[in-house]
Amino acid sequence: MSYFKRRHLFSKIITYIVLLIFLIPVLWLIYTSMKPNIEINTRPPVWFSKNMNFDSYLALLGFPVKHEGFGFGENVPFGDYFRNSILAALGSTFFALIIGTLAAYSFSSFKFKGRNGIFLTLMLARAIPGIALSLPLLVLFTKMKIADTVPGLIIAYTAMNVPFTAWLMSGFIGEIPKELSEAAMIDGCSKWESFVKVEIPLVGPGLAASGIFAFLAAWNEFAIASVITRTTAAKTFPVGLFDFTAEFVSDWRGMCAMSVMMLIPAIIFVITVQKQLVKGLTLGAIKG
C-alpha cells in the first residue's frame, strides 16, 4: 500500500473515531429515552434493556401510554414548547440576518468617523453572558408588557445574534470585488439596488452559515428564556425540560425523549441550509 493510500485510510479511521465519540452521547440519549425509569437509575447500569418501548415519545405527542410507571412527563405541554421554540428561533434568525447583513454592508462599504470603535463595541456586546442580561431584560420587558411572550424572545434573541451575524457577514461582503457594484451603478442601479441585486446573491454561503449559527443559538438558549418566560405562552424547549423534575424525583426518560425531539428540527434546519452553503461554495469555486 502506497504512502498516500495509507495516509488516506488513516485519515478516514480518525474521522470515524471522532464521529463515533460525538455520536455516543446522542445514541445513549436515545437509548435512555426508551428504557423504563426503574432501569435508568439502576446500579450497575442496565446496558441492554429487554423492556424498551416508545411510551415517552407517545406521551409527549399526546397519545395514551400502555405501560405503568412511565413517569410524569405525559403532562408536559410539548406542542406549546415546540411552537414557541420554532417561532422564536426562526423569527430571531430572520431579523438577525437582515439587521446583521445591513450592518455588515455599512461597515464594509462606507467609511465614517468612529467605524472601528462602533464595530468593536458591537462585538464586545456579544461577549456579555446571557445570564447577566436576563434580569435587566425582565425589568425592561415587563414595563414594555412583552415579558413572557414569543415576540419578547424574538427581540432578545435578535439582539443576541446580530453582533456575530454582522461580524461573519462583513467578511463575506468584504471579499466581493468593488468593481461589480460599480459596474451595476454605471448601468443605472442605485447603491441599494446594487447591494440587493448584485452583492446579496454572492454572499449566499455567508447567509447560510450565519443562519445556522443564529438558529442554533436561539434554539438552544436557556439563560435568558429561563428568566423572562414563566408560562407555556412563551416557554421554550430548554426551559421546558425542567417540567420533568420534581422535589425528590426526576423523569429522566421523558427528559431524554424531549431532548431527542429537540434535536430533530435543529438537524433538519442545519441539513437544509447546509445544502445551500455547499452549493454556494461550489459555485464560487467554479467561478473563481
Q: Which of 73, 103, 249 is nearest to 166 (CA)?
A: 103
**Low-confidence residues of the chain, pLDDT below 70?**
1-4, 66-74, 246-249, 275-288
76-287 CATH:
1.10.3720.10
Q: What is the pLDDT of residues 139-149, one digit of tens each?
A: 999 999 999 99
pTM score, whole prediction? 0.81
Where are the chain's structural domains?
A: 3-74, 76-287
| Per-residue pLDDT tens digits for 193-232 | 788 887 888 888 788 888 888 998 999 999 899 999 988 8
